C-alpha cells in the first residue's frame, strides 16, 4: 500500500515536471513563407520573423524595494549596469550613466539553434537594450496576431489593494499594467505567460479555456514615453509562482557556463527551457 502511494506521488511529480518543461509554443507566427529566416508575408502588417528581437531577458535583474523588476536606471534605483543573456553573453554600461539602454555586444541570440541577431530598433544599433528587462521583446509589425503560448485561464486580479481589476501582474511597474496593453495567462502548472504592449486585447479577465495558439490580441506600441519609443513589438515574459510570489523566469533556460547564471544566485526562479 505504501509502495503504491509512493509510486503515485512519484508519477505525479514526473508528470508535473514533464508538463512544465516544453509546454509553450511561439506567441507569434509569420503566417506566411519563411525564406532565409525572414518572414515573407506580403502584407506590410502582420510581418513577424521568428526569433528577431530587440532585447533579451536580463539575467542580472534584481527586485527593487517595491518587489518589482523595474527597468534599470540609476535614478529609479534599479539596474546594475549590466545585461546578461541566457547564453552568458554580457554587456556593461558606463558607471553612473542612465543604464536603461546599454551599449554592448550582446548579439541577441534568441535560441541556440538560430543565428545571432543585431539590435535593429530601440535605443540604437549598437545597444544591448534594457537593463533589468524582465522579458523578451520580439519585433512584430503593428497588428500582428499575438497567440497564447499554452492553454490556460486569463489572469483576473487587483495589482494593489483598492486598484482596478486587471488581467496581468505588474512584474516591473509600480502602478498597474493594463495601461501598457498587458495580458497574463495562467497555465495552471505554476507558470504564467504575459504579453505586453498589445494594441487590442480579445480576451476577458478570468476567461477560461484559452487554447494554445489562440489569438488573444494584436501587437502594438502601448508603452509610455518614459519607457522609450522602440516601435511596435511584443513584450513576452514568463512568471513562476514560488511560495506565493510571482517571480520572473527565463523561458529560454540557461546555456551559459554551469553555475555562472546570476539568476541562480539571487533567489529568483531558476531559468528553464519551456519551449516545445
Ligand atoms: Zn519588453
Residues 6+ apart with CB under 8 A from 104: 83, 90, 91, 92, 93, 126, 127, 128
Are 145 and 200 a contacting pair, CB within 8 Å? Answer: no
Ligand 1 centroid to Cα of residue 16, in Å, is 29
**Ligand 1 centre distance from Cα of residue 207 (Å):** 24
CATH number of the domain to which 159 belongs: 2.70.70.10
Cell 534584481 -> residue: 62
Asked whether residue 153 is assigned to any structural domain, the reply reads yes
Residues 247-258: what's their mean pLDDT? 88
Ligand 1 centroid to 154 CA: how many Å? 20
> In total, how many domains does the chain have?
1
Kindly state whether residue 207 falls inside one of the protein's structural domains. Answer: yes
Q: How many A from CA of 163 to the centre of ligand 1?
A: 23
Q: Which residue has the higher pLDDT, 206 or 41?
A: 206
**Ligand 1 centroid vs 196 CA: distance in angstroms?**
7
Residue at 20 is within a domain:
no
The CA distance from 42 to 88, in Å, is 36
CA of 230 to the centre of ligand 1 (A): 10
Helix (H, G, I), strand (E, B) or coil at 128: strand
Which residues lie below 8 Å from residue 226, measured CB to CB, with a gap of 6+?
A: none
Q: How many angstroms separate the alpha carbon of residue 21 from the centre of ligand 1?
A: 23
Average pLDDT in the 13-33 region? Answer: 69
CB distance 219 to 232 below 8 Å: yes
Distance 109 CA to ligand 1 centre (A): 16
How far away, in angstroms, is 219 Cα from ligand 1 center?
12
- What separation in Å is there between the alpha carbon of 233 and the centre of ligand 1? 8
In-domain check, residue 21: no
Report how far ligand 1's centroid is from the alpha carbon of 136 (Å): 6
pLDDT > 70: percent of the chain? 67
Helix or strand holding residue 154 (H, E): strand 153-154
The answer on pLDDT for 230 being more than 80 is no
Distance 235 CA to ligand 1 centre (A): 4
CA distances from 249 to 63, 183, 194, 228 (A): 13, 17, 12, 24
Roughly how many angstroms between the first and final C-alpha of the chain, as a whole number?
36
Q: 1 lies in a domain?
A: no
Compute the distance from residue 137 Cα to the ligand 1 centre, in Å.
Answer: 5
Range of the domain at 143: 28-266
Task: In whole angstroms, give the CA distance from residue 252 to residue 250.
Answer: 5
Cα separation of 37 and 23, whole Å?
A: 24
List the grid coordinates of 109.
541570440
Q: Is residue 275 part of a domain?
A: no
The reply to whether 17 falls in a domain is no
Residue 8 lies in a domain: no
pLDDT for 122 equals 52
Distance, CA 54 to ligand 1 centroid (Å)? 9
**pTM summary value:** 0.84
144 CB-contact burial (10 Å; exposed 0-12 / middle 13-18 / buried 19+): buried
Q: By three-state DSSP, how is residue 7 classified?
A: helix
Residue 72 CB neighbour total at 10 angstroms: 30
Most confident of 59-68, 114-123, 125-134, 208-217: 208-217
Amino acid at each position: 500500500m505504501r509502495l503504491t502511494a509512493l509510486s503515485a506521488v512519484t508519477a505525479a511529480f514526473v508528470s508535473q515536471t514533464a508538463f512544465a518543461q516544453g509546454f509553450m509554443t511561439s506567441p507569434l507566427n509569420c503566417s506566411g513563407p519563411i525564406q532565409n529566416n525572414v518572414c515573407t508575408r506580403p502584407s506590410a502588417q502582420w510581418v513577424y520573423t521568428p526569433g528577431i528581437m530587440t532585447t533579451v531577458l536580463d539575467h542580472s535583474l534584481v527586485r527593487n524595494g517595491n518587489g518589482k523588476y523595474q527597468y534599470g536606471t540609476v535614478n529609479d534605483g534599479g539596474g546594475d549596469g549590466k545585461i546578461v543573456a541566457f547564453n552568458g553573453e554580457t554587456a556593461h554600461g558606463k558607471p553612473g550613466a542612465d543604464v536603461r539602454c546599454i551599449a554592448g555586444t550582446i548579439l541577441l541570440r534568441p535560441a541556440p539553434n538560430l543565428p545571432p541577431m543585431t539590435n535593429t530598433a530601440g535605443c540604437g544599433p549598437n545597444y544591448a537594450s534594457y537593463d533589468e528587462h524582465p522579458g523578451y521583446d520580439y519585433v512584430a509589425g503593428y497588428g500582428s496576431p499575438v497567440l497564447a503560448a499554452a492553454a490556460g485561464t486569463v489572469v483576473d486580479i487587483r495589482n494593489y489593494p483598492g486598484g482596478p481589476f486587471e488581467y496581468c501582474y505588474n512584474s516591473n511597474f509600480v502602478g498597474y499594467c493594463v495601461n501598457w496593453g498587458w495580458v497574463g495567462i495562467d497555465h495552471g502548472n505554476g507558470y504564467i505567460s504575459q504579453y505586453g504592449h498589445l494594441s487590442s486585447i480579445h480576451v476577458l479577465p478570468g476567461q477560461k479555456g484559452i487554447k494554445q495558439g489562440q489569438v488573444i490580441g494584436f501587437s502594438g506600441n502601448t508603452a509610455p514615453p518614459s519607457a522609450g519609443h522602440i516601435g511596435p513589438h511584443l513584450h513576452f515574459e514568463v512568471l513562476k509562482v514560488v511560495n506565493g510570489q510571482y517571480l520572473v523566469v527565463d523561458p529560454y533556460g540557461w546555456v551559459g557556463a554551469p553555475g555562472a547564471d546570476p539568476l541562480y544566485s539571487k533567489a529568483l526562479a531558476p531559468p528553464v527551457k519551456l519551449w516545445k
